[in-house]
Amino acid sequence: MSHGEHSRELPFWRKYIFSLDHKVIGAQYAVTGLLFLLFGFCLMMLMRWQLAYPGQPLPWLGGLFNEQSMVGGIMLPEFYNQLGAMHGTIMVFLGVVPLAVGGFGNFVVPLQIGAPDMAFPKLNMMSYWVYFIGGVVMFASFFVPAGAAQSGWTSYAPLSDIASFGQTMWLFGMVFLITSSLLGSVNFIVTIVQLRAQGLTFFRLPFFVWAQFVTAFLLLLAFPPLEAAAVLQLMDRLAGTSFFLPTGLVVSGKLLEVSGGGNPLLWQHLFWFLAHPEVYVLILPAMGIVAEIIACNTRKPLYGYKSMVYSVIFIGFMSFVVWAHHMFLTGMGTKMSAFFQVTTMIISIPSIIILTALLLSLWGGSIRFNTPMLFATAFLPMFGIGGLTGLPLGLAAADIHLHDTYYVIGHFHYVVAPGTLFALFAGVYHWFPKVTGRKMSEVLGKIHFWLSFPLINGIFMPMFIMGLAGVSRRLYDPTQYAHAQPTQPLNVVISICAWLLGLAQIPFIINFFGSLFFGKKVGQNPWQATTLEWSAPSPPPHGNFETVPVVYRAPYEYSVPGEKEDFIPQTERK
């Protein structure tokens, strides 16, 4: 059923609000995702005040918060715990994944495979609005009595079972977000399998599409157990069941009047069964973006494309069998922990292969250091640090000392923050011209990069030191433990870097909105790239391509000997 003919007659609200066009939906996801990233970042900046100067009143902003959160500008433990839980939840589920998958995936994938749109445009639109509702529910949870969820983004039971109403809102919010994700992942899989242009075989796909393809399977199959877990926790909280509550619980001196017989570890198994694949959902699209930008800006094909594809598929499978490495210290025996240690070590191999292939892709190139390339190149060592620091955590004996310390926070932030987030920034700078028909300012972009790169390392590198010293995570006031006191000055350094990093995003925000109106206008292919999206106008019209694309070539035909240009688009006949 073609809807292309009708686009001229569509009213504003159907063209831009409830659009069925993957490009509009992608832009909606991207902008909403970026806003939530900013919001999540602000939550963290508040936390950093309490961590650097525990018990000190927050200057200027302290008065904005009511007695539930701050008394005389001094943060309360309950508010700190809310900030912690919601920072994680918002960054992962409302920020990174919607931007990486909903934003970049939706906009770029149909174009890169030569399709007029996603397979199910109505489903696509629904998935965005269900995400939006989930976001509203999560945001609103801050304003209910006793505030938002405060049991960590991991919501371990029984703490989460007995927590205040904000936790119930978190659960409902998650149900919406999971539903949105499911709708989206079905769309991606069907689109990539069925709607590739003629001649675009699987091994001619840009690596970005492969990454999104595997990501979609992870979302499809890993999220339902968390949905089940959310249902069980809602039953515990609203229907009086005891799925996660054992018999004989005594809370604040009173015996809990529940049936008992439940198991707190059941929550952990169900949660981590999703949450481990979820971290690969966070990294795979980023690897895809970096791959595209490296190929384009080195003017040569990716090294080891086939190995990268097999590795990303293998990561997809392996990611389902490592989850209990988050649970090594829950009373697990040596046999079960041995299994998960082995699978965790095994999954490091394909990640190393992909990282090495990306690194070797630079060799022999002619490297253009524009803003997207700066961020994409920085991704490599940052992801390297993140990945390497996962090794001590993946070994149960070392995990005895490092579990639930700042080492863990350092590890995963290195992967998501200077890792994925840098890749997402790179993607914004790279595809902005395709979306808007204008380029972003290189000057502002380079300022953004050169400020962000050292500052983000200043935030997360000290955390490894704190973790090795044994400092626990999720501490409202880190100075109460003797073992945490020597490293307290690091908290001040981290906080200052975090606030400066916040300021360093201002050039990006100015660049993003300013370039929409004042950016230099560009044509179809400003980067001289080979993949199909650059054969469409900038921005592409409804239906994307003026003529139906046919693909004749591999995705990275750069610097082919004997050719006039240093790139050959995939649609050019042989």
Partner 1 sequence: MEKYYGFGLPVDISTHGAEIDRLIYVIHIFMAVLFMGWLAFLVLTLVKFRARPGHEARHHVEHFKAPTYLEVFVALFEVVLLVGFAFPAFHKTRDVFPNRADALEVRIVAEQFAWNVHYPGADGIFGKTDPKLMGAANPVGLDLGDPLAKDDVTTINQFHVPVNQPVIARLSSKDVIHSFGIPVMRVKQDVVPGQTISSWFEAKKTGNFEIACAQLCGLGHYRMRGFFIVDSEADFKTWLDQMAPKPPAPPATAATTPQGAAA
Partner 2 sequence: MSTSLIHYISKPHPVTGITNAKLGTWCFLASEVMLFGALFSSYILLRVGAPSWPHGSELLNVPLATLNTMVLITSSVTMVMSWASLAMKNFSKYRLYMGLTILLGIAFLVVKTFEYGHKFQHHHFPSTDTFYAIYFTLTGLHGLHVIGGILLNTYFLFPGSALWKTEPEQFTGRIECAGLYWHFVDLVWIFLFPTLYLL
Binder of residue 485, out of partner 1, partner 2, none (CB less than 5 to 8 A by kind): partner 1
How many CA within 13 A on the CB side of residue 142?
19
From the list 218-226, 406-414, 422-430, 466-474, the region that binds partner 2 by CB under 8 A is 218-226
Pairing of strands 70-71, 438-439: unpaired
Residue 549, classified by CB atoms within 10 Å of its CB into exposed (0-12), middle (13-18) or buried (19+), is: buried
> Per rule CB under 8 A, is residue 544 in the interface with partner 2?
yes
Options 19, 242, 298, 515; binder of partner 2; rule CB under 8 A? 242
User: Residues 267-286 vs partner 2: string with x where CB under 8 A?
Assistant: --xx--x-------------
Which of 57, 62, 199, 224 forms a contact with partner 2 (CB under 8 A)?
Answer: 224
Q: How far apart are CA 320 and CA 74, in angstroms?
A: 43
Query: In this structure, are residues 170 and 155 in contact, taking their beta carbons and an 8 Å threshold?
Result: yes
The stretch near partner 2 (CB under 8 A) out of 228-236, 301-309, 365-373, 392-400 is: 228-236
Query: Nearest 5°: phi and psi at 520?
Result: -65, 130
Contact partner at residue 115 from partner 1, partner 2, none, CB < 5 to 8 Å by partner kind: partner 2
319 touching partner 2, by CB under 8 A? no
The span from the CA of 275 to the CA of 326, in Å, is: 10
Residue found under tokens 């091994």: 203
Partner from partner 1, partner 2, none contacting 190, C-beta within 5 to 8 A by type? partner 2
CB of 241 to partner 2, least distance (A): 4
How far is C-alpha 96 from the geometric centre of its chain's CA atoms?
3
Instruction: Select the binding partner of residue 133 from partner 1, partner 2, none (C-beta < 5 to 8 A, by kind).
Output: none
CA separation (Å) from 329 to 71, 333, 395?
A: 37, 9, 11
Amino acid code (one letter) for 415? V
Least gap, CB of 165 to partner 1 (angstroms): 16
**Helix residue spans in 90-206 (DSSP H):** 97, 106-112, 121-140, 165-194
Please say which residue, 413 or 542, places its beta carbon nearer to partner 2. Answer: 542
Residue 535 found at the interface with partner 2 (CB under 8 A): no
> Do residues 524 and 562 make contact, with C-beta atoms less than 8 angstroms apart?
no
Amino acid identity of 136? Answer: V
Q: How far apart are alpha carbons 126 and 15 in whole angstroms?
A: 15
Restricting to residues 18-57, name those near partner 2 by CB under 8 A. Answer: none
Could you give the 3-state DSSP secondary structure of residue 261?
coil
Q: What contacts 128, CB < 8 A, 6 or more positions away?
A: 25, 28, 29, 32, 102, 180
- Judged by CB under 8 A, the residue of 80, 176, 208, 223 near partner 2 is 223
Find the binder of partner 2 among 55, 261, 486, 537 (CB under 8 A): 261
Chain residues 354-413 in contact with partner 2, contact rule CB under 8 A: none
> Which pair of tokens denotes residue 279?
């971290």
Q: Name the minimum Å distance from CB 144 to partner 2.
A: 24
Terminal-to-terminal C-alpha distance of the chain:
34
CA-closest candidate to residue 100, choices 347, 374, 287: 287
By CB under 8 A, which span of 168-176, 179-187, 469-477, 512-520 interacts with partner 2? 179-187
Binding partner at 62 among partner 1, partner 2, none, C-beta below 5 to 8 Å by kind: none
When the beta carbons of 202 and 450 are compared against partner 2, the nearer one is: 202
Does 225 bind partner 2 (CB under 8 A)? Our answer is yes
Task: With contacts defined by CB under 8 A, name the span among 85-93, 262-270, 370-378, 455-463 that binds partner 2.
Answer: 262-270
Cβ proximity to partner 2: between 235 and 560 the closer is: 235
- Token readout for 530 is 């080979």
Shortest spacing between CB 570 and partner 2, in angstroms: 17
Stretch that binds partner 2, among 33-41, 125-133, 232-240, 496-504 (CB under 8 A): 232-240
- The reply on whether position 240 binds partner 2 by CB under 8 A is yes
Total interface residues for partner 2 by CB under 8 A: 54
Q: What is the C-alpha to C-alpha distance for residues 398 and 333, in angstroms, rounded to an integer?
A: 16
Q: Is 131 in the site for partner 2 (CB under 8 A)?
A: no
Query: Is the preceding omega at residue 539 within 30 degrees of 0, hence cis?
Result: yes
Backbone angles phi, psi at 567, to 5 degrees: -150, 150
Say whether residue 229 binds partner 2 (CB under 8 A). Answer: yes
Q: How far apart are alpha carbons 570 and 574 in whole angstroms?
A: 10
Which range of residues in 225-233, 339-347, 389-397, 434-442 is near partner 2 by CB under 8 A? 225-233
475 binds, among partner 2, partner 1, none (CB under 5 to 8 A by kind): partner 1
Q: What is the CA radius of gyration of the chain?
A: 24
Nearer to partner 2, 19 or 311 (CB): 19
Binding stretches for partner 2 (CB under 8 A): 1-5, 115-117, 119-121, 123, 182, 185-187, 189-190, 193-195, 220-225, 227-229, 231-232, 235, 239-243, 258-259, 261-263, 266, 269-270, 273, 542-548
